[in-house]
Structure 1
Amino acid sequence: MNWPRSASRAAHINPSTAICRAVTEDAMQASQTQIDAFHSLSGAEKSAVKRKIIDVFGGDRSVTLTNDEIAARGKIGLSTVCGRVNEMVKDEILAERGTDRRPGRRCRQKLFGLPVEVAA
């Protein structure tokens, strides 16, 4: 079905559908299942993944990696890496350090690294 650009898809979803996500033109919202899965992770599980992500950099502040590279080197699922890296950037554990062209595509992807200390 072709959805009108200005209309919300949620208006076209059958209310008897057990699981549905309200999708609007502006943003996607997480389903209740996704929210529950996130909250079911213990702090120790999140910390273990964050530790793996930090270990991928080997303490070298000059190393910059994409989410794909972090996932491959750390043997962690990409969706897990994306969520944890975003948390770590917000908490200033990691820093956005530029962009890199995706192989075979026109779009760019963010590069992340350990924060660089700036001498005053």
Structure 2
Amino acid sequence: MRATRTQLAGCDSMTGTKRCTQKQMILNLFYSPHMTLTRQEIADRTNLRLSSVCGRVFELIEDGALKVRGSQKCAATGVYNDTVGLPEGVAA
């Protein structure tokens, strides 16, 4: 999938500090290595937009700080969503 000019401009305009802050907010949710959350649950708990959460979670997975750990069925839509959590063997 190719990004639109608007998406690229939005990504370029976000400062590194803001990205780091959002990443830290997400990582702070995982107080147990057994805890997993969907991206929507992360957005609800951090009050970040879902699109921001998806971007930061993608970066955290790429960095190895989070890992896709399963899936969970959404009660509202019936669609299965990935759950993410700390990689196994990592202390919270």
Q: TM-score, length-normalised on structure 1?
A: 0.70
Q: Displacement, 1:30?
A: 1.6
Partner SS for 2:37:
coil
CA RMSD of aligned residues (A): 1.3
Which entry has the higher C-alpha Rg, 1 or 2?
1
What corresponds to 1:98 in structure 2? 70
Q: Displacement, 1:104?
A: 3.3
Task: Select the structure that is richer in strand.
Answer: 2
What corresponds to 2:3 in structure 1? 30
Unaligned 5+ residue runs, structure 2?
A: none
Instruction: Note if contact 2:71-2:82 (Cα within 8 Å) is conserved in structure 1.
Output: yes
What corresponds to 1:17 in structure 2? none
Q: Distance in 2 between matches of 1:86 and 1:117?
A: 20
Unaligned 5+ residue runs, structure 1?
A: 1-26
- Which residue identity lines up with residue 51 of structure 2 in the other structure? S
Partner SS for 1:63:
coil
Render the CA deviation track for 1:12-54: whole Å, top value 9, x for unaligned: xxxxxxxxxxxxxxx4x22111101101111111000000001
Task: Select the structure that is richer in helix.
Answer: 2
Structure 2 counterparts to residues 1-120 of structure 1, below 5 A: 27=1, 29-57=2-30, 59-117=31-89
Render the CA deviation track for 1:44-82: whole Å, top value 9, x for unaligned: 11000000001122x211110000000001111100000
Q: How many residues align?
A: 90
- Which residue identity lines up with residue 42 of structure 1 in the other structure? T
Instruction: Note if contact 2:70-2:84 (Cα within 8 Å) is conserved in structure 1.
Output: yes
Q: Distance in 1 between matches of 2:5 and 2:77?
A: 33
Partner SS for 1:111:
strand
